[in-house]
Structure 1
């Protein structure tokens, strides 16, 4: 199959593909693909399907979740928990044109002539993207209209109501089953959709839908989730049994983990099932430098989740809640130091340590940050490869699905979770882990200590990869979104060493008018401090405060002044914008919206 760069402008591809057709410009619109002159052979199908790749999400943060302490630009979840999201104010529901493009290919692909396997391959790719489209809609809205064809403006189905969640989920499953059976396993450099990418999406979807049905009685499908969990297990085992993928473990511990998120290329990395290629020479770039100290940091809740290096919970340490930043980051699961900026981290590799920002919490994200200065050329001009599906997630999917089904064994743990722990030299998980009351309190109603530890493992291994919000929703753990997420603990106003070199780097002070906590410091030390104030010179609160007044955990005034609330089950479902329900009165809101 012809290899084309991951990001291709659909319009450019379309024009290039059809401009060579004899007299095309004389007979048909200049900027449209038409069924009369297109979809004649596998090459046409490939060219058209290349336009779908821009629909593929490539996340590198968990802003909309409890993994983030403070996001200084309001998002959907922020508005949701503060009660400002309504059908009048909400956005979304506006990408149905993507589905029409996919369906346009699917209804016309049957006229193609040539290699039958190649034709089925590209039909499978279209069905992969349709499944991905509807998976996103299912997560957001549950019941939505199912469209299996492109609609004309006079089609009565254009104004139909919601189809059931059961129909949508079964249709997604059918599309993925076709994709798995017909997309070729050819890998190349794994930037294209392959059989293995389709299996990875099936593994993810099956786990999502199976657990969502188990934990959400309001959808009346509680007893019908088993087949999805079993399909997730099957898909995961297909990938595992292929012997094409392994965990990236060269014996370098945290460095092996880090390499998955900030390398120039992921070509040849056997943990990677599918990835996005960003190269300056290809005109493809990302904006990953914004993860570090821009508009968010990671939460204390996430920081506390990482185990100690000996495998015991951090929250079992005496006085864990009042440990300073340097104490929190010491002697932990190495994945923590590859996710949160730690002592010794130097963005420009010049031995100048990074200084954290208390205004966003202090646990600044480094996972996905381009480590070489040459990879950071400016805004939306970063050149690092990003994973889309990796083998580690598939292993976690299998372990959790089997645990939910009650079929997991010690061998399963050794073939999944314990491979991830071995990479970073962490102790293995057993079938009967010790209870952690702090973890158990986060997920009330989950009695299994194994399931709780699998949720911990998933959170730390996949942190900042865009899956945390989805996990909270399927587990019916939305209450975690109403927790006011804090940052690091500050023992007292004044100067602090946050780089680990023994010298103070920052000072947290009551206001610019009161520097008494640092008055006794030498002048050369004071002039090198970065100062942060709880109030401005006029006495107005800044965006953060300390939970104990002059000491305590960094918290945020927005959470104090506009407390978070999560309304169940309403907030597990996104409202349809009122503009759409006015256009189509058959679309009805659900669960209180």
Structure 2
């Protein structure tokens, strides 16, 4: 069953149990005859569990950064603008429990199968999905009601109050520990294994531990310790390593742009094929009217120089032109955004500069496949859901936040990532002795104790390594750095009106003008009218001049510290349940 995301509907029980509605309150009751007919063999149990894979994300995972400070698109998301509203309809806005009902249905009935190995494996996978489900719910809403049984219409439990975050997360850890103990240690790209459960546990522990630490909820250490231990177990297993085919200037790009994943670094992926399933990822990255994705300047500034020094320590970095700022940088920079010598994946010729398909000027090329896949519904490159690199980052961050990080810890984690692109190693003592003021300006809420410098460097590494992989918003939320989205989200710097050479080959590529482009050289391939895309002076902060950074979002983001770390619960759900209270700050 190659396609991970395509749901497999139960042949005998779909009509009776799951239907197509979102709200489990409207599900019909269980039917004992059909249960006896279905849960008889290991194959029955496998089919039941396979239906749960639809819970996992697909290509939308790679687009989530467009609703963060990493990337801007043509239409600014409500999450960034601070314009989210309270949903009305029952079960909307993420407050849906139908997936949980499917999971609990399997867990209530798997014991009917007379096969101990199958029962251990598939109950473990079901509990993996319950841990995943509740982890996502807690991230979104905080306190949520815990259900570990299938509820029917009229059950009193349907109208209970929300359980505490700590109670629910302890249950989540129980589930993921059970999954690790019972799922076999196999390497399967599109199936849940012990290794998938290990990295999920590490992700859960890091998120909950740092959220608790920075939001002053208390009891953060046990989750950070669990994160570090799970990540270390995965490292010590030797099952995975980093993908290095193609060397420092190509391997990072190849990892995401290739059509088919392998199990060198990739732990779990969503599979797409020309005949069975396609996605629109490349279309959104190359469409001038719908996507126009562009990386932000403070992300570009965060990439180190090839000698390990900070780009932002250079005098005049704020007013450096595109060609100059791209020189001698961490090789991941020009494998994430189109650099001066950019060639489309699978081609050798230099691609013309195109400013129409990027809002900031920094074009997104990570996970952009061959040109023949750029049309609507034409992409077939697999989407990575979990990969080994994340475990390395989790291990280092958890240890740093606990205050137990050593140089040896960095050498088996962060420095492995740097080795892939032949970057100098991160040295613990040096980082803590000289914290980066630029990074601290991005994360003012960072731990101010002795590990501040190395925590900032780990955050830098995490942002660079995992950009466009759907984790940035969660990072800002757990670090209590929501107000980061209120900082200017800028693009490429232009020294003034006229022609600009992006490739340093003596030929103009971009022409900047003020309403009249009649003077543009014939060879330019991109034109920007500052009346449509204003420039912001990086020193004075004034927008509207003839030099500065592209300012595609001059209105700025908005974030309410007293409200926006959680999402609102739908009005109808609150009206139906007297025990259910709205999250703080959200009103109708």
* TM, length-normalised to structure 1: 0.87
On the 8 A contact 1:124/1:178 being kept in 2, the answer is yes
Query: Take 2:282 and 2:156, find their aligned partners in 1: how far apart are those partners?
Result: 44
CA pair 182-53 structure 1, distance change in 2 beyond 3 A: same
Query: Take 2:364 and 2:439, find their aligned partners in 1: how far apart are those partners?
Result: 22
Partner of 1:261: 256
> How far apart are residue 349 of structure 1 and its match?
2.1
Partner of 1:475: 479
Aligned counterpart in structure 2 of residue 317 of structure 1, from 310, 314, 319: 314
> How far apart are residue 251 of structure 1 and its match?
6.6
CA pair 214-94 structure 1, distance change in 2 beyond 3 A: closer
Query: Take 1:295 and 1:35, find their aligned partners in 2: how far apart are those partners?
Result: 50
Aligned counterpart in structure 2 of residue 271 of structure 1, from 231, 244, 265: 265
- Greater mean alpha carbon deviation, residues 492-501 or residues 171-180: 492-501
Within-5 A mapping of 1:473-512: 473-511=477-515
Query: Take 1:390 and 1:361, find their aligned partners in 2: how far apart are those partners?
Result: 29
Within-5 A mapping of 1:381-392: 381-392=378-389
CA pair 543-574 structure 1, distance change in 2 beyond 3 A: farther
1:340-360: CA deviations, max 9, x gaps? 111222337262514242660
Partner of 1:145: 145
Aligned counterpart in structure 2 of residue 550 of structure 1, from 532, 546, 550: 546
Query: Take 1:17 and 1:499, find their aligned partners in 2: how far apart are those partners?
Result: 61
Provide the secondary structure at the position in 2 that maps to 1:572: coil
Query: Take 1:113 and 1:148, find their aligned partners in 2: how far apart are those partners?
Result: 23
CA pair 184-284 structure 1, distance change in 2 beyond 3 A: farther
> How far apart are residue 301 of structure 1 and its match?
1.1
Aligned counterpart in structure 1 of residue 554 of structure 2, from 552, 559, 565: 559
> How far apart are residue 248 of structure 1 and its match?
1.7
Partner of 1:590: 583
- Greater mean alpha carbon deviation, residues 150-159 or residues 242-251: 242-251
Aligned counterpart in structure 2 of residue 229 of structure 1, from 224, 227, 238: 224
Structure 2: 5+ residue stretches without partners: 16-27, 537-542
What value does the CA root-mean-square deviation take over the aligned residues? Answer: 2.5
Structure 1: 5+ residue stretches without partners: 20-27, 536-541
Query: Take 1:585 and 1:260, find their aligned partners in 2: how far apart are those partners?
Result: 50
Aligned counterpart in structure 1 of residue 329 of structure 2, from 328, 332, 354: 332
1:456-484: CA deviations, max 9, x gaps? 11111111111111011101111101113
Provide the secondary structure at the position in 2 that maps to 1:384: coil
Query: Take 1:468 and 1:157, find their aligned partners in 2: how far apart are those partners?
Result: 35
- Greater mean alpha carbon deviation, residues 46-55 or residues 377-386: 377-386
Partner of 2:75: 73
Is structure 2 residue 372 aligned with structure 1 residue 369? no
Is structure 2 residue 565 aligned with structure 1 residue 572? yes
Query: Take 1:169 and 1:472, find their aligned partners in 2: how far apart are those partners?
Result: 20
> How far apart are residue 532 of structure 1 and its match?
2.5
1:196-253: CA deviations, max 9, x gaps? 0000100100000011100002xxx32x111111111111111111111111234710
Within-5 A mapping of 1:131-530: 131-188=131-188, 190-217=189-216, 221-222=217-218, 224-250=219-245, 252-267=247-262, 269-285=263-279, 287-292=281-286, 294-347=291-344, 349=347, 351-357=349-355, 360-370=359-369, 372-374=370-372, 376=373, 378-432=375-429, 433=431, 434-446=434-446, 447=448, 448-511=452-515, 514-515=516-517, 519=519, 524-525=522-523, 528-530=524-526
On the 8 A contact 1:301/1:485 being kept in 2, the answer is yes
CA pair 388-437 structure 1, distance change in 2 beyond 3 A: same
CA pair 162-76 structure 1, distance change in 2 beyond 3 A: farther
Partner of 1:24: none
1:55-91: CA deviations, max 9, x gaps? 11242131121101x32234341342xx453456995
Provide the secondary structure at the position in 1 that maps to 2:332: helix
On the 8 A contact 1:260/1:386 being kept in 2, the answer is no
> How far apart are residue 289 of structure 1 and its match?
4.1
Provide the secondary structure at the position in 2 that maps to 1:395: helix
CA pair 88-43 structure 1, distance change in 2 beyond 3 A: closer
Provide the secondary structure at the position in 2 that maps to 1:270: coil
Query: Take 2:237 and 2:209, find their aligned partners in 1: how far apart are those partners?
Result: 24
* TM, length-normalised to structure 2: 0.88
CA pair 109-544 structure 1, distance change in 2 beyond 3 A: farther
Query: Take 1:194 and 1:286, find their aligned partners in 2: how far apart are those partners?
Result: 28
Provide the secondary structure at the position in 1 that maps to 2:36: coil
CA pair 554-93 structure 1, distance change in 2 beyond 3 A: same
CA pair 18-43 structure 1, distance change in 2 beyond 3 A: farther
Provide the secondary structure at the position in 2 that maps to 1:508: strand
> How far apart are residue 445 of structure 1 and its match?
4.1
